[in-house]
Amino acid sequence: MAEQSEEPMTTLEEIDQVYACAAACEIWDQPVEDPTARAFVFAATALLRGLGEAEDTELWRSSAALLRRSRRLVCTLPLSFDHPLLKFEAIAYQIDSEIDRLEGVAEPGHVERMRAVVSSLLSLAADGGDPLGDCTREFLTLEDPRDSLVVLTDRRFTDAVTESMALNGVEVAIGTHADLLGHGLYTSVVVVGSPTWIHQGLLNAPRTGNLALVHYEFFREEPEVTPLLFGPVSSTHVTRPITKSALYRCGAPETLVAGWQQGKPDAAGLLAAEECSPSGEIRASFPRHSPVGRGGGADQVEAHAAVLADGSHVFLPTDFDAKVFSLQAGDLPDVKVEQVPASSVGRGDYLALRNRSHHQDLMDRADAILGPDAASLRTTQVEWKEQLWERTEQHPRGIRGVADELRRRGAVTANVSYWVSDWCIRPRSKADFAVVLRYLAAGAEVDSVWERLRRIDSAHRSAGQRYADDLQRSLTPDRVESLVAVGWCAARPTGADSETLVARIDYVLSDALQVPLNALCRLRTTEDFQ
């Protein structure tokens, strides 16, 4: 619970109060040692590192995804290892069932490392310890925990951690990084997880008197504070040393656990914080895009992953023609929901997302507008795209070869990889479309086909605008204020629409990924890969 003043403060007074708190804040780097957790994390990391590119094959994809999930949750959640939400025992048996299938097919060394993972994960589930939670509670009880906050990397686990803390005698608010970016002040804050995952704004201007960074000591990275303002005068007020706390030990350090040899490994053997972060899992879940060759099937498109303020993420297509709903927040409470090119949004922008595919949702809404003509019009849309895709499969240089031939025949733009995807309705240029139809020898009348595709495009635009208007009406001033304060809010438009999350983009991964069409512009979490 944040401290509240009796009289409303001006914005400048709030800023002064935050900076006064930041100047006096003590930051504690609190490493935690637990032999059972170390054994599993090192065994899982050894297997995942050993797999290398092999983890992108179907042979290993399922097991690798389960391991990444388990490793991340071990390192970021203050919950007991036998908590039913974590499913460690079930995952261990699921991975174990894969060993028989892989023996004689996969590299023997990988299989042996897989056995070590299963053993260490079963030991973890049987142990039932909660080292991150124990350390967090010890720090909080030095003050009144009711004026404190525990920060997680993913909001979907806040209820479980709240319940666990209460069962262990600590009543405390649980939130995400975004909850610590507002104007509220706290007596103490614990941020759980690798220190290098923390937004720098939490370290250079913390809203608390005491900040503990609780993480396992086997992370290689050290936390550091970046000055908020640069220069000899101002930087002295925002740059403070981080105090290294004594190691918080859990379990029996003298007990050997399967898969781990005692003794501290050298720096090269420690775990990189990025390896089990949400962004690391996102990258590993899809192969990196190679610019050489065809680049996948017609239902695969190039995209960048954007990580949102609430811990979820979204895949944004790189093609300019693909649209996504964005919230333009000006002077509160005035906001405007718009459809904008997905490739144009970036850090700091607000997106409106649902669990359902944005593309499929627009298709269903547009078909309702098109009425009885929808099926016939969609057939026209599918036919020219399927013919173009067949030509790419027949061409010795695939998509790139077809694009070169279209340009030689007069097309100004030949974005074939996008045109063959289900996301596309028609090229932007009628002249380019005429070149495509002549190239396909389709024998169709350009004007007639163009008009039919125009009707589909118009229906999509109308459907998107109706949803945008409906969503905007659901964004009350209170919801918008919450959005700007913490980075996300939930809204529910009228009708049968599912709940919409409006969230700020915190950062965009630079890697270009090939992802399925139905993964684009929809709310996703790292749990979706299981």
Per-position DSSP letters for 42-99, written without gaps between them: HHHHHHHHHHGGGGGSHHHHHHHHHHHHHHHHHHH--S-TT-TTT-HHHHHHHHHHHH
Q: How far apart are CA 83 and CA 65, in angstroms?
A: 20
Alpha helices in 200-251 (DSSP H): 200-204, 235-238
The residues with which 3 forms a beta bridge, in sequence order, are: 185
Q: How far apart are CA 326 and CA 528, in angstroms?
A: 23
Amino acid, single-letter form, for residue 163: E
Q: How far apart are CA 280 and CA 274, in angstroms?
A: 6
Give me the pLDDT at residue 181, please.
67
Asked if residues 483 and 329 have their Cβ atoms less than 8 Å apart, the reply is: yes
For residue 96, with 0-12 CB atoms within 10 Å meaning exposed, 13-18 middle and 19 or more buried, which class applies? middle
Q: Which residues 6+ apart lie within 8 Å of 344 measured at CB?
A: 320
Q: How far apart are CA 514 and CA 286, in angstroms?
A: 7
Q: 95 vs 82, 88, 121, 422, CA distance in Å?
A: 17, 11, 10, 35
Amino acid, single-letter form, for residue 11: T
Amino acid, single-letter form, for residue 169: G
Half-sphere exposure of 254 (CA within 13 A, CB side): 0
Cα angle 363-489-151, degrees, rounded to a multiple of 5: 125
Q: How far apart are CA 296 and CA 472, in angstroms?
A: 37
Q: Which residues 6+ apart lie within 8 Å of 85 measured at CB?
A: 79, 157, 160
- Inter-helix orientation angle 430-440/374-394, to 10°: 60
- 353: tokens are 């997302």
- 218: tokens are 């086997």
Asked if residues 229 and 200 have their Cβ atoms less than 8 Å apart, the reply is: no
What are the phi and psi torsion angles at 50 (to 5°)?
Answer: -65, -35
- Inter-helix orientation angle 158-167/131-140, to 10°: 70
Closest residue by Cα to residue 58 from 249, 349, 287, 213: 287
Q: How far apart are CA 42 and CA 113, in angstroms?
A: 10
- 394: tokens are 């027949």
Q: How far apart are CA 67 and CA 94, in angstroms?
A: 11
Q: How far apart are CA 467 and CA 259, in angstroms?
A: 53
Give me the pLDDT at residue 121, please.
95
Q: How far apart are CA 35 and CA 257, in angstroms?
A: 7
- 99: tokens are 């060993």
Q: Which residues 6+ apart lie within 8 Å of 368 measured at CB?
A: 374, 463
Give pLDDT tens digits along the chain (530 positions). 444 444 545 566 666 776 777 777 888 899 999 999 999 999 998 888 888 766 556 778 788 888 888 998 999 999 999 999 999 999 999 999 888 888 878 888 888 999 999 999 999 999 999 999 999 999 998 877 778 999 998 888 999 999 999 999 999 999 887 777 666 788 899 999 887 777 666 777 677 888 899 999 888 777 776 554 444 444 444 456 788 889 998 876 544 444 434 344 444 457 777 777 777 778 777 765 544 333 444 567 788 888 888 878 888 888 766 778 888 766 656 778 888 888 888 888 899 888 777 777 788 889 999 999 999 999 999 999 999 999 999 999 888 899 999 999 999 988 888 888 777 899 989 999 999 999 998 767 889 999 999 999 999 989 888 888 888 888 888 888 878 777 888 887 765 556 788 888 888 888 788 887 777 888 776 655 44
